[in-house]
Amino acid sequence: MSYKAYHFKVVPPQPGSEILIAHLSELGFDTFEFNENGFTAFVEQSVQVEFKAEAYAFDNFKYTFTIETIEQSNWNQEWEKNFEPVYVEHLLCIRAPFHPAAQGYAQEIVIMPKMSFGTGHHQTTRLMCKTMFDQEFKNTRVLDMGCGTGILAILACKLGAKDVTGIDIDAWSAENSRENCQTNQCPEIKILQGDVALLQNEKPFDHVLANINKNILKRDIPFYVERMNAKALLYLSGFFTTDQEEVKEVCFNSGLEFLTSSQEESWAMMLFRKK
């Protein structure tokens, strides 16, 4: 699988980048990485998108962009050139195998992402991880939906979960998650390739983690709830603070109650409980 990377230079970077990302997510782009000059938007090569700058002109910021095709075989090389360890306060260090072990953190996760997304650099991943440290995972059953590199599934395992399942629609991501689970001494984590239809064969979960595009969340939240135990927790991220009421409405209609939320820059994370 190959990806197209749209590299956006935005002046000024904020809030221009967030505004552009909101539009791009509607076109099929599913992953975004910020940098000091703007951001990069990723979309699978097979997804037909047509972004025309003349259709997206704004008065309060300017932007330019270039398009790069990233072949599967080149992904690690591109990633290694820019990757630095990620730190979530004193709680968690996410690093690559070529980085030295971290000291003074409650947990450490080692990943090599290949063509998978979810290195921990994105605000939403950090928000999810931080919230997980505030909850009780010991001896629980956990679902990581859209697991990517497997970071959230691995963290759940390290926090004491006894039964963890990760699901990703992308075959490369599923394979990468399995490798990262082995690297982090969590071989018992079950990684499946597919979508929400796989939940029909699963027993109920105590925690459901879903850091995915807003539109996918809105579509699939009812299916998550069907496979949640009473009082189970649903962790949602992958959307902006301005999208929270829209997400809340879907959750309320699905039998969930809102517990708390957090944000980093313009990105939000919300926690719900099944009634």
CATH number of 118-274: 3.40.50.150
Average pLDDT score over residue span 35-49: 84
* Token pair of 181 as six digits: 């689970």
Domain boundaries, the chain: 3-70, 118-274
Q: Residue 159: its pLDDT value, please?
A: 98
Q: What is the mean pLDDT of residues 48-76?
A: 83
What number of other Cβ atoms are within 10 A of residue 146's Cβ? 25
> What is the pLDDT, as a whole number, of residue 80?
61
Residue 41 has pLDDT above 60, yes or no: yes
pLDDT more than 70, % of the chain: 92
Token output for 59: 């008065």
| Residues pairing with 94 in the sheet | 86, 109
For the entire predicted model, the pTM comes to: 0.78
What pLDDT, on the 0 to 100 scale, is given for residue 72?
63
Tell me the one-letter amino acid at 197: A
H or E element at residue 13: helix 13-27
pLDDT tens, residue by residue, 238-248: 888 989 999 99
Mean pLDDT, rounded, of the chain:
89
Position with higher pLDDT, 3 vs 88: 88
> Cα dist. 104→26, 34, 93, 173 in Å?
41, 27, 9, 30
Who has greater pLDDT, 108 or 123? 108
State pLDDT tens for residues 65-121.
999 887 765 555 665 656 788 899 999 999 988 888 989 999 999 988 665 556 667
